[in-house]
Amino acid sequence: MRYCQFNPDIVPLAQHTFVEQLLNCKDFTKSDRLLGSSKGRGTTWFINTTAELGINSVLRHYYRGGIFGKLVKDRYFFTHNENTRAVQEFNLLGQLVQWGLPVPRPIACQITRQFFCYQADILLEKIANTQDLSQYLQKNQLTKLQYAEIGRLIRQLHDHQVHHSDLNIHNILIDNQGKFWLIDFDKCKIQIGCSWKQKNLDRLHRSFLKEQTRLGILFNEQDWQMLLDGYAK
């Protein structure tokens, strides 16, 4: 049994079948639509969909991590469509877009059920001409004002009670106009309270320090303080 959810602002009814075909394609290696790909737990595909949707797309299949993921790589226990990872990410991104936050727009998602389990895929807007901070900072430095801007962006998330559970420099993009974007909202949620917010910042700080050692990114503690100053304002 298959369930699809579409963003009507991007996907007109006439393009539903086209988008469903994209969601069901598992390998774009030989497709002339392929713009590129990235490897993680699985392959994320960057797809040329400008002619049909007016934007290019990112297609991601949901995979488990950790030890359990070695046994059951991409199946999850099903209770309701609204509780699936794909629909939750789709809906959260839609809310963030309404709030005016710089995140990719959700295009569509798909849930495929079999007995009591499901598999899931999501199609997102590809933000043009971007690098993640781990790439950018290997060759470029950010200004103090830019670090403050990142801090303000995270503060916006937190003011809306959005907990980005994997806040790291790989999930912050910078485009060729210098604008910052946040990506990868899988397993993220709107969460009450404030105790998690400092831990969220600490996770990002560790990410900067890790890549300073591993990749030699251009970063120092004064940069981090500027980010915190931006967050505090």
CB 6, CB 16: distance < 8 Å: yes
Predicted confidence (pLDDT) at residue 93 exceeds the cutoff of 90? yes
* pLDDT tens digits, 25-82: 988 998 999 999 988 778 899 999 999 999 999 999 999 876 655 577 899 999 999 9
User: For the residues 169-189, what does the mean pLDDT come to?
Assistant: 97
- Give φ, ψ of 172 to 5 degrees: -115, 120
pTM of the model: 0.94
The rounded mean pLDDT for the chain is: 95
For the chain, give the percent of residues with pLDDT over 90: 90
User: For the residues 193-197, what does the mean pLDDT come to?
Assistant: 96
Residue 42: the pLDDT is 82
User: For the residues 165-180, what does the mean pLDDT come to?
Assistant: 96
User: For the residues 220-228, what does the mean pLDDT come to?
Assistant: 98
Q: Which residues are catalytic?
A: 166
- Helix/strand/coil for 116: coil
Bridge partners, residue 6, by sequence = 108
Q: Which residues does 102 contact at the CB level (< 8 Å), separation at least 6? A: 153, 179, 180, 181, 182
